[in-house]
Structure 1
Amino acid sequence: MFTIEHDFDATVITLIDEGGPHLQEDVTISAFEDVVTLEQVDPRRDEVIRITLSMAQIRDLAAALNLPEGSYRLARPGE
């Protein structure tokens, strides 16, 4: 299950694990104009873990989901 909210400066997607007996904490993805952040609570430390990705990293991730094993470099606009 997931939710989508459009805030003033970001689109926020929350992924809710419904997958089975070993459920993970919710993941919140906030897409801003220049970065995307992923947040998840670490229940062992009771704190939020945050990962920040650049838009270039997001493009690479999207491409990687559809490619076989290997090493790649995507052409950037203007290259």
Structure 2
Amino acid sequence: MARGRSSNQLLVPEARAVLEQMKYEVATELGIQLPNDGYYGYMTTRDMGLIGGNITRRLVQIAEQQLGIRI
């Protein structure tokens, strides 16, 4: 595993910009200020978890809609 870097790779590299935009949208909706310099080391684990969890929830909803799944 790479040190200091995520080993996760996107299957569609063009999706990175969309995910970044989604991160800022979710943070704004939750009232969390993201750092302008891009360094997240001072962010709390709780805040980052809230953002990540909400992004995951939103992505699952999008996938369900595209598949026509109703829960």
Please identify which structure carries the higher helix content: 2
Please identify which structure carries the higher strand content: 1
- Settle same-fold status: TM greater than 0.5: no
Computing the radius of gyration over CA atoms, which structure comes out larger, 1 or 2?
1
TM-score normalised to structure 1 length: 0.22
